[in-house]
Amino acid sequence: MDEQHVRELVFLVKTYDGFTRFGASAQNRFQSLIGKEGMKYDDVIKEAGSIKGKMLRRIEKTLALWPLWTDYLAAVPGIGPAIAGRLIILFKYRFQAICPDCAGDVEKKEGALVCLGCGKVLKGDGNLKYRIDERDFPTISKWWAFMGRHNVDGKMPKRKAGVVSNWSTPGRTLGKLIGDSFIKQGSENLYRRFYDERKVKAQKDHPDASKLHIHNMAENEMIKLFLAHAWSAFRELEGKIVTPPYAGVIMGHTNLVAPFYFEATSEMKPTGAVRAIPILKPTPSMRHYTLEEART
């Protein structure tokens, strides 16, 4: 992929996110400060929404360069261009800040940006420049860990003051957006159906848990299932090795759920179960879904 196309996608996605935040905050200010009495200002809110719509269409047009969108994500209900753009950027690309003098890697040390090459402290040098590196996640567990969906002592880790996290905060946020989007789709969406089944199971296994806890458990399993499916499909489309999951190879599980809305081309169909979650046994409606059936 041409590096300029990658930079354009990042620009469009980040600009779209900026307009989304602006629109939400402007709407809140409008309602709290002006209200119905000041409808003459309503056109400002509408114009922001119009620009946001234009940005979304440009993102979709740019995504046509990525088979990860055209051959997979575009067919997944609930995954629109904005979410897909974010997901592809997180999965494929790493942006490393570089020194304007020697092009060495820049890292944050004791609150300051320092070049690892020449030792220069970057302060007052304007906008940073970045080098684009390719990411690779050889296993589902590494992809999960990067997205902040791994477990530490049985729980998802939380950010701690003064400690640099070894997982992506934007990745975890994106996972939550994906989960909310699937739930809004209704039971026709296979991931929503999976969520509903896991919610019932969680209620049986944890009768004393609150409704919010039950929801969070089921949603997290659904998000992890989708991320595992995306990992399998992405690597398949890029011609990379798709290793069988730990749960199947080491633990002998046979109730693995193959990716929804994706038809693999290799002899080994990508699978999406991993040891950290007990994947439900696929129902016929899940197991036999083909790409064409999912689109109808």
pLDDT per residue of the chain (296 residues) written in tens, 0 to 9: 788 999 999 999 999 998 888 878 877 777 777 766 655 666 777 777 788 889 999 999 999 999 999 999 999 999 999 999 999 999 999 988 888 888 888 888 877 888 888 888 887 666 788 889 999 999 888 999 999 988 777 777 787 776 667 788 999 999 999 999 999 998 889 999 999 999 999 999 999 999 999 999 999 999 999 999 999 999 999 988 887 664 433 334 456 677 899 876 544 343 333 323 333 333 333 333 233 322 33
Question: 65, 97, 115 — which closes off a domain?
Answer: 65
- Is 285 in the same domain as 172? yes
Kindly state the tokens that stand for 59: 């993102």
Could you list the beta-strand ranges (E) of the chain: 93-98, 106-109, 112-115, 121-122, 129-134
Q: Is residue 33 part of a domain?
A: yes
Question: 65, 88, 117 — which closes off a domain?
Answer: 65
The pLDDT assigned to 124 comes to 62
The pLDDT assigned to 244 comes to 67
Q: What is the CA radius of gyration of the chain?
A: 22
Give the CA diameter of the chain.
66
Cα–Cα distance, 43 to 34 (Å, whole number): 13
Q: Is residue 267 part of a domain?
A: yes
Nearest Cα to Cα of residue 93 among 165, 168, 149: 168
Q: Is residue 43 part of a domain?
A: yes
Q: Helix (H, G, I), strand (E, B), or coil: what is residue 152? A: strand
- Is 52 in the same domain as 155? no
Kindly state the tokens that stand for 288: 């036999």
Question: 25, 46, 65 — which closes off a domain?
Answer: 65
- Is 180 in the same domain as 33? no
Paired with 96 in beta bridges are: 131
Paired with 95 in beta bridges are: 132
Nearest Cα to Cα of residue 143 among 178, 109, 172: 172
Contacts of 17 (CB under 8 A, 6+ apart): 82
Number of domains in the chain: 2
Cα–Cα distance, 167 to 237 (Å, whole number): 25
Report CA torsion sign: 10, 15, 21, 27: negative
Q: Is residue 75 part of a domain?
A: no
Cα–Cα distance, 79 to 71 (Å, whole number): 13
- Is 142 in the same domain as 253? yes
The pLDDT assigned to 250 comes to 35
- Is 143 in the same domain as 286? yes
Q: Is residue 282 part of a domain?
A: yes
Cα–Cα distance, 269 to 245 (Å, whole number): 12
Paired with 293 in beta bridges are: none
Q: Is residue 99 part of a domain?
A: no
Would you give the end-to-end CA distance of the chain in angstroms? 32
The pLDDT assigned to 34 comes to 72
Nearest Cα to Cα of residue 82 among 22, 20, 134, 35: 20
Q: Is residue 103 part of a domain?
A: no
- Is 57 in the same domain as 141? no
- Is 59 in the same domain as 168? no
- Is 147 in the same domain as 246? yes
The pLDDT assigned to 288 comes to 31
Under DSSP, the state recorded for 155 is: B
- Is 35 in the same domain as 165? no
Contacts of 202 (CB under 8 A, 6+ apart): 209, 214, 217, 218
- Is 155 in the same domain as 266? yes
3-state helix, strand, coil in the chain (%, to 5): 55, 10, 40
- Is 46 in the same domain as 149? no
Q: Is residue 129 part of a domain?
A: no
- Is 59 in the same domain as 141? no
Q: Helix (H, G, I), strand (E, B), or coil: what is residue 129? A: strand
> CB of 88 within 8 A of CB of 9?
yes
Domain that holds residue 27: 3-65
